[in-house]
Chain A
């Protein structure tokens, strides 16, 4: 299971990476915005994407839309982990096809719960 973590703050990437390691996910790669994430996704092998919303360059929502419009990537599970808290934004992300939405600051338990939920749903689908 290879997970791509996209966030413009390296500290947040580290926190997520360490939490994932505790959850047993040791294979993670990182990108600091949508633009740097896309080549890594197109290279292939990424099974799961965790992305922030507010980033310079390409934002998380734009990244999500780009992925859903890409024939090879449209099925990739995407978990949004962000401080963006407007109701209209959560609705927007849902409409764009996000698989989960975690609001910062978050706990390790919340992250684990949302990741598990996404996998459960994918297995049942």
Chain B
């Protein structure tokens, strides 16, 4: 005697009942039993279709991810590198513009300051009646000249300060570029995580910060992101003084 599974046993019972119904000429019962037997077949078929659909879906998702990763490696990452290089260029230009203006202006201001000091001393001598008429005539000319020069210099100062003001526009532009790159990095991360999940590789977080040798440095500390960093010069000073500095 063959061992039947409960499902097969039920099928056998239904088959026996079907034979009996045919022999008895019970048409209604015959139709009902045939339909029931067919239903079992249908549900097996349905399960198979479900399985195939799932496989197809996974295959399509993987294909889509592959495409996304290909786009990342072929276009987006090189593109992001260029964008970031552009950020360096723009910030460098802004810094140079500002420094040029400062380097130009400092001697101008120093010159005005020196002249003012001299005139102030002369004027005090005049007020103390220590000045001859000839000296006063000379002072008068110097004052007129000083007013004229000051006008020109103040104009120069204003122009250079406007340049400095305008040079700060890099902040807006570089901020936008960096924000886009951050979005790209996030998208890439999502893609990688999906990829790892699909390939069923157990997700392992490699915490290998110590592998990166500190000789080349870690770059500027980003608040909230980098740990075990000092936050200001006071921290540095107290750490160094604890080391005997």
Task: Please report the C-alpha to C-alpha distance between residue A60 and residue B231 in the assembled complex, in whole angstroms.
Answer: 21
Interface pick from A7-15, A24-32, A40-48, A71-79: A7-15
- A90 at interface by CB-CB < 8 Å: yes
A18–B102 contact, CB under 8 A? yes
A87–B215 contact, CB under 8 A? no
- B200 at interface by CB-CB < 8 Å: no
> Looking across the interface, which residue of chain A has its beta carbon closest to that of B102?
A18
B221–A86 contact, CB under 8 A? yes
Contact of B214 among A18, A86, A94, A101 (CB under 8 A): A86
- B147 at interface by CB-CB < 8 Å: no
Total B residues in contact with A, Cβ cutoff 8 Å = 27
B230–A110 contact, CB under 8 A? no
Q: Given the known inter-chain contacts A90-B240, A101-B236, please indicate yes or no for A59 contacting B216, CB distance below 8 A.
A: yes
- B92 at interface by CB-CB < 8 Å: yes
> Looking across the interface, which residue of chain B has its beta carbon closest to that of A80?
B236
Segment 58-103 of A: residues with Cβ below 8 Å from B: 59-62, 82-92, 94, 101-103
A residues less than 8 Å from B217 (CB atoms)? 53-54, 59-61, 82, 84, 89
Segment 204-245 of B: residues with Cβ below 8 Å from A: 214-221, 226, 228-233, 236, 239-240, 243, 245
Q: Given the known inter-chain contacts A61-B215, A83-B219, A110-B233, please indicate yes or no for A88 contacting B228, CB distance below 8 A.
A: yes
- A2 at interface by CB-CB < 8 Å: no
- B109 at interface by CB-CB < 8 Å: no
Total A residues in contact with B, Cβ cutoff 8 Å = 30
Q: Given the known inter-chain contacts A86-B228, A94-B243, please indicate yes or no for A11 contacting B92, CB distance below 8 A.
A: yes
- B99 at interface by CB-CB < 8 Å: yes
Segment 170-203 of B: residues with Cβ below 8 Å from A: none
Segment 56-103 of B: residues with Cβ below 8 Å from A: 91-92, 95-96, 99, 102-103
B residues less than 8 Å from A11 (CB atoms)? 91-92, 95-96, 99
- A119 at interface by CB-CB < 8 Å: no
A residues less than 8 Å from B243 (CB atoms)? 91, 94
Distance in Å: Cβ of A48 to nearest Cβ of chain B? 17
Contact of B233 among A61, A87, A91, A103 (CB under 8 A): A103
A-B complex: 5 closest residue pairs judged by Cβ atoms: A54-B217, A11-B95, A83-B220, A85-B221, A85-B229
Q: A83-B219, A86-B218, A86-B230 provided; 13 other pairs, C-beta below 8 A?
A: A11-B96, A11-B99, A18-B103, A54-B217, A59-B216, A60-B217, A61-B214, A61-B217, A62-B215, A85-B230, A86-B228, A102-B233, A103-B236
